[in-house]
C-alpha cells in the first residue's frame, strides 16, 4: 500500500472511529445515568415499603426533630449515608429517618458501573472492527480510481511514445537528407497524437458533428500506411472499392483508428488484419487473441488483459451512436475478431 493510501486509510479510520466512539460514550453515559436513577428509585421504594412493614433487618431507624428536616418522602444520598424522611402519625415534632445500608448501595452501584463500562468496552471494540472494515471498504473505490488513473497515464505515455519516437527518428533522417517518406511519417505521427488528444477530449465533451464527403478507399489506405509502419509484422489486406460516405471526418477517423489499433495491438505475431466493404458495412477482421465477452467490451474501463485502459471501444460506441451507425462484434478466443460497422 502506498504512503498516500495509508494516509487516506488512517484519516478515514480516525474520523470514522472517533465520531462513533463519541456517540457511543454519550449513549452509555445516558444508559449509566438511567440505570443509576432506576437504582435510586428501587432503593426509595424499599425504604418506603419498610416504612409500612419494618421487615428489613438491614435498615436502620432514627428519630430526628421535624425542624431539622427539609423535605419528606425524598431519597437523600450523601457521603456514607442513604436515607429518607417520613412523618410519624403520632408526633408532629419528630420525623422518622430510615437509613439504607451504604455498603449494599455501593455494591449495587459498582455492579451497574462495571456492567456499563463492560458494555461500553465491548461496543467500542465492535465499533473499532467496523471502523477498520468500513475504512478499507470506502478506500477501495478511491484506490481503484487511483490505479485506473495511474494505468491511464502509463498507457497515454506509451501511446504517445510511439508517434513521438517516429517524429524524432524521421527528423534525424531529414537532417541527413531530404526524404518525402520521412515527412509523410512525421505527418502521420502528428495526426496520431492529435487523435489521442481527440479521444481524451471525447470523454468529457459532446461531439460536434460536421459532415463531409469521405473517399473510403483513400481514407483506409492512409490509415493502413500509418499502422503498417507502426506494426511492420502485421499483414494488411484491404478490399475497398470506390465509395464515398457523408459523415464527420473527425468522429469517423477516431472510430477507424481505434478499431484498427486494437486489431493490431491484440493480434498475434505475424498475424493479419483484413479491411473491406460488404453490403454497406465496413468490416475489420483480425487473427488476434479474441474476446471472451464481446458484449462487455463497450463498457468503460472493461478490459480482458493488462494492456490498455478499456476506453477505446467505449469511445467507439459513443461515436458510433453519435453518427447513427451500428456496430457488431463477433469473436472467438484464440481465433480472432470480426467487427462490422453498418454505414448508413
Residue-wise pLDDT for 57-78, tens only, equals 889 999 999 888 889 999 999 8
- Residue intervals in the chain for CATH 3.30.565.10: 209-342
Query: Higher confidence at residue 195 or residue 176?
Result: 176
Eight-class DSSP state of 80? T
Residues of 139-152 as b/e, b for ≥16 C-beta within 10 angstroms? beeebeeeeeeebe
Among the listed residues 215, 217, 221, the one whose alpha carbon sits nearest the alpha carbon of residue 188: 221
Q: How far is CA 17 from CA 4, 6, 130, 176, in A?
A: 20, 16, 8, 68
- Mean pLDDT to the nearest integer, 45-66: 90
Alpha helix ranges (H) inside the chain: 3-53, 102-176, 180-204, 216-230, 249-265, 312-323
Q: Give the 3-state secondary structure of residue 335.
A: coil
pLDDT attached to residue 275: 94
pLDDT attached to residue 112: 92
**What pLDDT digit, counting tens, does each position of 187-237 carry?**
666 666 666 655 555 555 555 677 889 999 899 998 898 888 788 899 999
The sign of the CA dihedral 72, 73, 75, 81 is positive
pLDDT attached to residue 23: 92
pLDDT attached to residue 185: 66
- Mean pLDDT to the nearest integer, 21-35: 92
> How crowded is residue 287: how many other Cβ atoms within 10 Å of its Cβ?
19
pLDDT attached to residue 108: 92
**Partner residues linked to 339 by β-bridges:** 284, 329
Q: Is the pLDDT of residue 281 over 60?
A: yes
**What pLDDT digit, counting tens, does each position of 114-162 carry?**
999 999 999 999 999 988 888 888 777 777 777 776 666 666 666 666 6
The sign of the CA dihedral 298, 299, 302, 307 is positive
pLDDT attached to residue 206: 55
Q: What is the Cα Rg of the chain in Å?
A: 41
The answer to whether domain 209-342 has CATH 3.60.130.10 is: no
Q: Is the pLDDT of residue 309 over 60?
A: no
Query: Higher confidence at residue 167 or residue 297?
Result: 297
Residues of 154-182 as b/e, b for ≥16 C-beta within 10 angstroms? ebeeebeeebeebbeebeeeeeeeeeeeb
The β-bridge relationship of strands 281-286 and 336-342 is antiparallel
Amino acid at each position: 500500500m502506498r504512503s498516500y493510501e495509508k494516509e487516506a486509510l488512517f484519516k478515514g479510520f480516525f474520523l470514522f472511529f472517533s465520531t462513533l466512539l463519541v456517540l457511543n460514550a454519550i449513549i452509555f453515559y445516558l444508559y449509566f445515568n438511567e440505570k443509576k436513577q432506576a437504582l435510586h428509585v428501587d432503593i426509595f421504594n424499599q425504604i418506603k415499603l419498610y416504612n409500612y412493614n419494618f421487615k428489613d433487618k438491614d435498615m436502620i431507624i432514627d428519630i430526628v426533630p421535624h425542624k431539622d428536616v427539609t423535605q419528606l418522602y425524598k431519597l437523600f444520598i450523601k457521603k456514607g449515608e442513604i436515607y429518607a424522611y417520613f412523618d410519624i402519625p403520632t408526633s408532629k415534632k419528630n420525623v422518622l429517618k430510615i437509613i439504607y445500608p451504604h455498603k449494599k448501595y455501593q455494591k449495587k452501584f459498582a455492579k451497574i458501573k462495571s456492567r456499563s463500562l463492560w458494555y461500553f468496552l465491548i461496543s467500542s471494540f465492535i465499533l473499532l472492527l467496523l471502523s477498520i472494515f468500513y475504512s478499507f471498504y470506502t478506500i477501495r473505490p478511491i484506490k481503484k480510481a487511483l490505479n485506473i488513473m495511474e494505468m491511464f497515464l502509463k498507457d497515454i505515455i506509451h501511446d504517445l511514445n510511439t508517434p513521438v519516437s517516429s517524429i524524432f527518428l524521421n527528423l534525424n533522417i531529414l537532417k541527413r537528407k531530404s526524404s518525402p517518406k520521412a515527412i509523410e511519417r512525421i505527418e502521420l505521427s502528428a495526426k496520431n497524437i492529435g487523435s489521442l488528444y481527440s479521444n481524451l477530449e471525447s470523454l468529457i465533451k459532446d461531439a460536434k458533428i460536421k459532415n463531409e464527403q469521405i473517399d473510403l478507399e483513400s481514407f483506409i489506405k492512409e490509415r493502413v500506411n500509418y499502422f503498417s509502419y507502426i506494426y511492420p509484422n502485421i499483414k494488411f489486406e484491404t478490399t475497398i472499392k470506390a465509395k464515398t460516405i457523408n459523415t464527420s471526418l473527425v468522429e469517423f477517423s477516431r472510430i477507424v483508428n481505434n478499431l484498427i489499433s486494437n486489431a493490431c495491438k491484440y493480434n498475434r505475431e505475424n498475424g493479419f488484419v483484413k479491411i473491406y466493404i460488404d453490403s454497406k458495412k465496413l468490416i475489420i477482421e483480425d487473427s488476434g487473441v479474441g474476446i471472451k465477452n464481446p458484449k462487455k467490451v463497450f463498457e468503460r474501463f472493461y478490459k480482458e488483459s493488462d494492456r490498455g485502459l478499456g476506453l477505446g471501444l467505449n469511445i467507439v460506441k459513443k461515436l458510433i451512436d453519435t453518427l447513427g451507425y451500428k456496430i457488431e462484434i463477433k469473436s472467438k478466443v484464440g481465433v480472432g475478431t470480426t467487427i462490422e460497422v453498418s454505414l448508413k
